[in-house]
Structure 1
């Protein structure tokens, strides 16, 4: 019987990819660290040889972002990620402690399901392929339907190079018949060992409710607080650099600016000087009409577009070189568009009385959306930075750096990654920037160091000691009570003698 319906074809393709990947992964798991590393280098080299071509494909197919920035993201996902993981021990015995007599063996998860978003399609494929294979796992990719061609081509390029370097052929696979039913099969299939989910909130929730282990990323909605001690000119530059990088599609990018009232004028002046456009209240209302869909989800038509393009969509006239559209806001909520995640060059602007109020406002924003993800602070006051670190419900607090590149480890020493865990508060299994170490288990081999008889003797000795200490304490207390009664009796008799003049 030949399948005709697309959903059935997609499900069957997914099942076959998983079945073959599971068999191939058994072979991959037998390889040495040297062999695994050779495959990873081949993946990196293939990506590096195709940086520009894949970036152009992603831009042309999705209409998102900036080609030159997508080239940088592909470079980051290949060369930078590779350099960060190449010395990791991920095969065989990875650590040992002679004193405690324990050693640890790396155990691959098995088959990873890699969900790929349309915002960072080619770079996310490169990154996930590298970390999955480095950890000894096979990976089956599920492309976003609006970026399927560039994703499928990226997978083809990487797989070809990896197989030539010795990888079992089916360790990297990609669904080509893309349907919701096929994606659901990938998430729920018994051959899926772990889901690595990067995408919209609905997709991440589906991953966590699939019944299989999952590492997902919730929405980013990071506020950037410019505290009064900051270098305001530099802070504004870094925010603009971040929010205009690939037109703001990286989820760690800033979504709002919070300032103290005393620096409000200075920050606004600097924003305008560096190419931002401050919206009037009427213009802000016009823009709000196109920022969200009727269901109050992000309008895909503005994602990854330039500020000038978005302004024209909204019927607002701005200079052609405008970098970011900025709107003053004083509310936070699901139906307040400017307080939500905006994967494009739009920023909310909040004005607060002092840093304590700014702290409260940032928590309010994050708790409505973006909790567990990322926040940015620009400050030279270490005490205030520490206060923010102690209280903000985020997994990454970035200091004096652009949010987009700081969060993924480009301008900070965080682990380079395109999957950013949001911790339990954000509904994620981890708060890490995801690396190969998150994609393997550790088998702990522990030698016996004590016998049961010895444990019994220790317990008996401790019990007797505790009993002796208790008795001693009780005797001491009894003596203390007796001494106190004697003193009280002496006092009473002394008073009686005095009264009777004896």
Structure 2
């Protein structure tokens, strides 16, 4: 098969998947909340059963991360997420306000295009499938080419579970021949209603420029500030645990440590005591050549790899086999300072600043260079300092005294458990949320008239409910059968 044949085949496959998803959409839209909940529960249970096998497949295929940590991420997506969404109302009547005579009705957005990264391939499929089914939306996955086999297997696992619980065929599917042309066809097709894009900046930008509504998350580049009030041992432990989790492949993981000069000695000593290897000037220069590619993007050779592998790649001969993370002193941010960019591997930049104001400026500078709107971590016992930094930094998640990789996704914090983390407008994203089912529905609002034009002309107070509507009695009681029919009509209209 030549390249042109492969492109054409992938485009045709994508069109066929869209046709199947279109049929499934009409059925899902007319299901009850209970039916959707049953499907979501089935995915949760089955994905948890296969968590280890799928994690092993992901590491073996991509070479990224650690099997045990990928299994934990799969279980997080299957079980922790399920506990958070199982009782959510997403479909049909969400809320009623008898006093203002308004009803909110949740309706699915329609077919979702799910773009899957190679760093978190199996957990992302589990997560996106569950939030889409909970919201009543079919999803078509576009897999990263370097993780296509583990992604396809995960899609098959969740698809079979969903269909066994009543989901129509075509509810969950995946492009089997991933090409750029297929992904563009999926994103730009009239049937596609929303894009869930998780991955590199170029891919996310393509999603937003497709003409289809999108929720996208690009690079994270979160700094971690160790404040003078912090328990330094605890702070370093949390940072290293976070950075080494799945070999640094979670985008919320710390990318740099920032301290005041008065804290430098204590933090450096603790880093070394807990297994970090602090590079000297020569080693700093050697490794810096391998962090980014000539076009300025992250070198995939360092992504999710062990310290031993990265050291061998860079020719670092003095790194001990016990080293957990490579730490490089840095003094600048931006072009020409590769350590200041996102590094989805076991490499941390280390900034030492004169005072707290300089620390704050540096943290803002790092985020504005790359990762604006994503994540910032601070370790402090002073609540006012945490609040001050939270107000100043351009980050959607400010994490206090917790490992950033796990805190950002909601594993060690009470944030919503998610593997797509919105960066807000400052980060070029349409949402700053940890994305869940409520981000994948539209809300239809039904409103009864409560005042007449004559009342408005007569000086009636705008926004007040007219006196005649108060205590309306039986004539204003909502007929549930009429509402059910209204919901069904809306669903049928949306699926046309």
Q: TM-score, normalised by structure 2?
A: 0.91
**What is the CA-CA distance between 1:177 and the residue it aligns to?**
1.1
Q: Is the 8 A contact 1:334 1:368 kept in 2?
A: no
Give 2:430's aligned residue: 429
Secondary structure at 1:254 match in 2: coil
Q: In the TM superposition, what whole-angstrom CA distance separates every residue of 1:271-296 from its partner, at most 9, and x where no partner exists? A: 00000000001000000111111112
Q: In the TM superposition, what whole-angstrom CA distance separates every residue of 1:224-265 from its partner, at most 9, and x where no partner exists? A: 000100011000000000000000000000000000110100
**What is the CA-CA distance between 1:459 and the residue it aligns to?**
6.3
**What is the CA-CA distance between 1:4 and the residue it aligns to?**
7.3
Partner Cα distance (2:461, 2:224) in 1: 59
Give 1:390's aligned residue: 391
Q: Is the 8 A contact 1:296 1:335 kept in 2?
A: no
Q: Is the 8 A contact 2:108 2:135 kept in 1?
A: yes
Give 2:465's aligned residue: none
Give 1:440's aligned residue: 441
Q: Is the 8 A contact 1:109 1:441 kept in 2?
A: yes
Secondary structure at 1:282 match in 2: helix
**What is the CA-CA distance between 1:460 and the residue it aligns to?**
11
Give 1:196's aligned residue: 196
* Unaligned stretches of 5+ residues in structure 2: 463-496
Secondary structure at 1:421 match in 2: coil
**What is the CA-CA distance between 1:172 and the residue it aligns to?**
0.7
Q: In the TM superposition, what whole-angstrom CA distance separates every residue of 1:124-147 from its partner, at most 9, and x where no partner exists? A: 000000000100000000000000
Secondary structure at 2:257 match in 1: strand
Give 1:359's aligned residue: 360
Give 1:324's aligned residue: 325
Q: Is the 8 A contact 2:20 2:169 kept in 1?
A: no
Deviating runs (4+, > 2 A) in structure 1? none
Give 1:73's aligned residue: 73
Partner Cα distance (1:153, 1:335) in 2: 41
Give 1:182's aligned residue: 182
Q: Is the 8 A contact 1:138 1:172 kept in 2?
A: yes
Instruction: Say yes or no: does 1:291 pair with 2:291.
Output: yes
Q: Is the 8 A contact 1:308 1:321 kept in 2?
A: no
> How do 1:122-161 and structure 2 match up within 5 A?
122-161=122-161
Q: TM-score, normalised by structure 1?
A: 0.90
Give 1:216's aligned residue: 216
**What is the CA-CA distance between 1:450 and the residue it aligns to?**
0.9
Q: Is the 8 A contact 1:135 1:437 kept in 2?
A: yes
Q: Is the 8 A contact 1:334 1:340 kept in 2?
A: no
Q: How many residues align?
A: 459
Instruction: Say yes or no: does 1:34 pair with 2:34.
Output: yes
> How do 1:83-98 and structure 2 match up within 5 A?
83-98=83-98
Give 2:16's aligned residue: 16
Greater Rg by CA = 1
Bigger shift: residues 432-441 or 20-29:
20-29
Give 1:265's aligned residue: 265
Bigger shift: residues 315-324 or 214-223:
315-324
CA RMSD of aligned residues (A): 1.2
Give 1:457's aligned residue: 458
Partner Cα distance (1:196, 1:131) in 2: 11
Partner Cα distance (2:356, 2:265) in 1: 16
Give 1:380's aligned residue: 381
Secondary structure at 1:410 match in 2: coil
**What is the CA-CA distance between 1:334 and the residue it aligns to?**
2.8
* Unaligned stretches of 5+ residues in structure 1: 462-502
